[in-house]
Structure 1
Amino acid sequence: MSKGQGATLQETLMQKLDYDQLTNCMRCGFCLPACPTFKETGIEAESPRGRISLMKAAVDGLMEPGIRFEDQMNHCLGCRACEPACPADVKYGQLIEQARDAIEVHTTQHRWWVKGVRKLVFKELFPSQQRMQLLGTGLHFYKMSGIQKLVRKTGVVGLFSKHMATMEKILPDASGKGIVERLGTFIPAKGKKLGTVGMFRGCLMDVLFTETNISTVKLLTEAGFDVVIPESQNCCGALHAHSGETDQAKQMAKSNIRAFQEAGVDYIISNAGGCGAILVEYDHLLHDEEEWKEASTWFAKRVKDISSILVEKGRPLRFAETLSQQGPTRVTYQESCHLRNVMKGSQPTKQLLQRVSNTAYIEMKDSGSCCGSAGIYNMTQPEMANQILEHKMENVNATIASYVVTSNPGCLLQMKLGIDKHGQTGHMEAVHIADFLYDRLVKQD
């Protein structure tokens, strides 16, 4: 094992892992049926309990952490379904991020070009909203110029990777103009003002799902909120934290805290479960920096998912679907892992869906189980991601729903991928909750 900063991986694990959390695990096994990778393989090391045992064995000097150790840590989806199932309240999500942070210092697996790509993506692209918008402009040109049609016709992408070709098919409409360019930085409430919220626009959300951000803002104003969109905000840092780039994630967190504190908002609204999960844990991310304790706590306590703020604080809104000759439209919900397991916010989304007139809400079996997206997991671990998606689609198809609603962009793309693979395009559509609701909003006079 190569060394990093003069220490071995074992020594770095000892520095970074919370040993109290490692010893809190009682090895009861309640986490096993909740874990997607364990359910797929039945292998103990593929479970939270197994991975914690590996971490503890490495720290205690009972094993030398090598490539197989790294593989197991990276094979975890980070869905955190194990946490609600754990009677000892073990903070597994924090442990897996700490382990990956240590591994990133010592990794032996990254080739020179992978390191170059990681540097470009994590340090140059995601931290800069301007560069993200350039990416959006490039993707928009790729589609509108006819290049996309040529690429698909020739099948050139499939020559490099069949998985890449599949993912290209579900590429959403990108834009170089984000929500600030479309709506400005302040959008007033409709009717009586109930409060002021800050909109977290995200990085990929703002260039790949601009219309979803717009739907989110319009729902908030209809519900009685002034919406402020701080221009100085940046990427939430979730992908960085999950990939071992903890220092970069901390810098992003500090920038976002400053931006929203200066905006003086009552709440900070996220429409992406993956983003919201790290935003609500900024206090933990910065727990070892005393000067940020008060500010990070202020921020974390104000983070809310779009569905939660509408149900708990907003003016009641009416939603209605156009009634077809076939009767009510069948709708089901694929829960975002991080919204369910970290933000505890799935129930408000279900409540909103059940308020839409002329629809039949169909509860999906195991709706809270991971779909296999998990940030960039479906790109880094495509084989396992596809296995998980196949089992998810069995439950999706059983609902015979016309719409599969999600609360996270990664889940949305994964559901689009599943629908395409199962030949359901035209019969079933994956849609974000904000878009689904706004398209059916009964406007107030």
Structure 2
Amino acid sequence: MNSTHEKFAQSLKLTLDEDQLTNCMRCGFCQTACPTFIETGLEAASPRGRIALMKAVVDGLMEPDESFRNQMDLCLGCRACEPACPSDVKYGQLIEQTRAAIAAEKPYSLPVRVVRKTFLQGIFPHRGRLKLIGKTLSFYQKSGLQKFARSSGAMKLFPDHLQQLEKALPDVTGDGLEELWSKAGLPYRRETTGSGSKLMVIPASGAKVGRVGMFRGCIMDVMFASTNVNTVRLLRQAGFEIVIPEEQVCCGALHAHAGEMDDAKQLAGQNIWAFGEADVDYIASNAGGCGALLKEYDHLMHEEQDERLQQAAVRFAEQVKDISELLSSPGRPLTPIQAESANKTVKVTYQDSCHLRNVMRVQGEPRQLMQQLPGVHMCELQGAEVCCGSAGIYNLTQTEMSTTLLDHKMEHVEATGAEVIVTSNPGCLLQMKWGIERAGKQRGIEAVHLADFLAGQVWIEDQGE
């Protein structure tokens, strides 16, 4: 092993959680849950295989060469292996720690470095830049530039998958949650805490059952701001007072998954402070990928020297709930809108968000909320627990595997006969919209977020305001 590889092996040894590394019993239960193993059949492409590779590098039995890094990069980070593991191995922590060591010791190729730096450092941590992108996209869609780009053939300069993704983009308003809410003339007030933190407070509809901090996210508030609005409307109708801290930032999930742990911790610290200032009972997430990391801020920050920050991170993690959990309980039951015709039904299928299911362990609540609606016929999706291939920016960096998973997913969707695919994460939603585009099913199937679907099916007081 050369000096560079020895240095990396030592770094990996210091980074990895040794207890988690040695907990794996090599039983193989994780294999049937792992999308990349299912697709390739390769031991190295399974969680068990990747853990064995990590341990072999740490023990000096193999070099951390390009094939090692390729297998670490091929992992979706969906964490479907964790519920399947009888030893409760925290594989998600191991893969993030390995990627952190790789990011620190081995430079990526130029295209990957450009993607990582542009998105992880240049865009996601900065709300002003995200809003500028939103307004730019809105102008592109509404000014005629989008139509011209497609009709002129300019889009053909891009790879096929980017052309398809462009067609799958939702209509972007350019405004975030706060702007859309205030422009709609809906009730709210402004508050400033003793330390100067600024809050937008939206009153509950009827008797108040709790005070919820709304995590608006980064991609959610740029490309799916209307979904954030519907989330707040549903929470309000369920009896929650909603607080939106102005100082909140990106959750850091994409940074953590990519091994940029220092950036993830910095963002986490800002959110812990912002929501601590808001004095809330719960913190609501409508994005499975965000919610999973928010739920694990206690682990992310457990090595911080500031004990008060550690304690605040533990409290923060305990407060995090997916909106489906809050709407199910302790929220008041929502009142369904009566179907126009008792015989009219819509066939709906649900694609689980990996991190919502595997990390937050929320599986039944979204289905139950939809099953309670008259006129909704739930069609369970074969392989709903299998990742759709989105996985943050995975569909940009690992396009071949991403599209393979997506095409198989769409085959299962078509087998259900569903007219609507519902999901609970923006990345999954974009991926499913892309899948519909790839399958040529734009006129037969639509993909929607759970909050948008529910908001169209239940009675909400502000519809009359």
- TM-score range normalised by the length of the shorter chain: over 0.9
| Counterpart residue number, 1:122 | 120
SS, match of residue 458 in structure 2: coil
1:268 and 2:283 are equivalent in the alignment: yes
- 3-state SS in 2 of match to 1:73: helix
Cα distance per residue 1:221-262 (max 9 Å; x no partner):
000000000000000001101111110000000000000000
Contact 1:323–1:329 (Cα < 8 Å) also in 2: no
The match for 2:421 is 404
Q: Which string of whole-angstrom CA distances, capped at 9 and with x for unpartnered residues, describes residues 39-78 of structure 1? A: 0010000000000000000001101101111100000000
Name the counterpart of 1:311. Answer: 328
Cα separation, 2, equivalents of 1:162 and 1:174:
22
Indicate the larger mover: 362-371 or 194-203. Answer: 362-371
Secondary structure at the residue paired with 1:319? coil
Cα distance between partner residues in 1 of 2:423 and 2:170: 15
How far off its partner does 1:118 sit? 2.9
- TM-superposed CA distance for 1:7, in Å, is 7.7
> Quick one: distance in 2 between partners of 1:396 and 1:202?
28
Report the equivalent of 2:63: 64
> What does residue range 181-260 of structure 1 map to in structure 2 within 5 Å?
181-183=179-181, 185-260=200-275
- Could you tell me which of 406, 422, 428 is aligned with 1:389? 406
Residue 79 of structure 1 aligns to a residue whose secondary structure is coil
Superposed CA deviations along residues 291-335 of structure 1, whole A, max 9, x for unmatched, are 221010010000000001110110011224644697311111111
Matched, 1:414 2:412: no
**Contact 2:112–2:397 (CA under 8 A) maintained in structure 1:** no
C-alpha separation in 1, matches of 2:336 and 2:427: 25
2:304 matched to 1:289? yes
TM-score, normalised to structure 2, is 0.92
Structure 2 counterpart of 1:95: 94
Q: Give the alignment partner of residue 354 of structure 2, picking from 337, 347, 351.
A: 337
Quick one: which of 435, 439, 442 aligns to 2:456?
439
Deviation string, structure 1 residues 344-370 (Cα, Å, up to 9, x no partner): 112110110101111111111121111
What is the SS of the residue equivalent to 2:206? coil
Q: How far apart, CA to CA, are the structure 2 residues paired with 1:220 and 1:87? A: 36
Taking the aligned partners of 1:42 and 1:119, their CA distance within structure 2 comes to: 33
**Quick one: structure 1 residues 153 and 3, their matched pair in 2 at CA, closer, same or farther if it must change by over 3 Å?**
farther
Kept in 2, the 8 Å contact 1:38–1:47? The answer is yes
What is the alpha-carbon distance in structure 2 between the residues aligned to residue 132 and residue 173 of structure 1?
16
Q: For the residues of structure 1 that align with 2:91 and 2:109, how far apart are their CA atoms? A: 25
**TM-score in terms of structure 1 length:** 0.96
**1:9 equivalenced with 2:8 (yes/no):** yes
- The corresponding residue for 2:187 is none
Residue 375 of structure 1 is matched in structure 2 by 392
The one-letter code sitting in structure 1 at the alignment partner of 2:181 is: L
What is the aligned partner in structure 1 of residue 129 from structure 2?
Answer: 131
- C-alpha deviations, 1:81-117, integer Å up to 9, x for none? 0000000000000000000000011224322x65355
Give a deviation string over 1:357-391, Cα, whole Å, max 9, x none: 11111111121111111111111111101111111
Question: Mind listing any 5+ residue stretches in structure 1 that lack a counterpart?
Answer: none
Q: How large is the RMSD of aligned CA atoms in angstroms?
A: 1.8
Q: Is this contact kept in 1: 2:394–2:402, CA < 8 A? A: yes
Amino acid at match of 2:160: K
Identity of aligned pairs, percent?
A: 56
Q: Secondary structure at the match of 2:245?
A: coil
Aligned to 1:48: 47
Structure 2 residue runs without a partner (length 5+): 183-199
Output the amino acid matched with 1:354: Q
Q: 1:116, 1:37 → 2: CA distance?
A: 25
Distance 1:108 1:187 in 2: 46
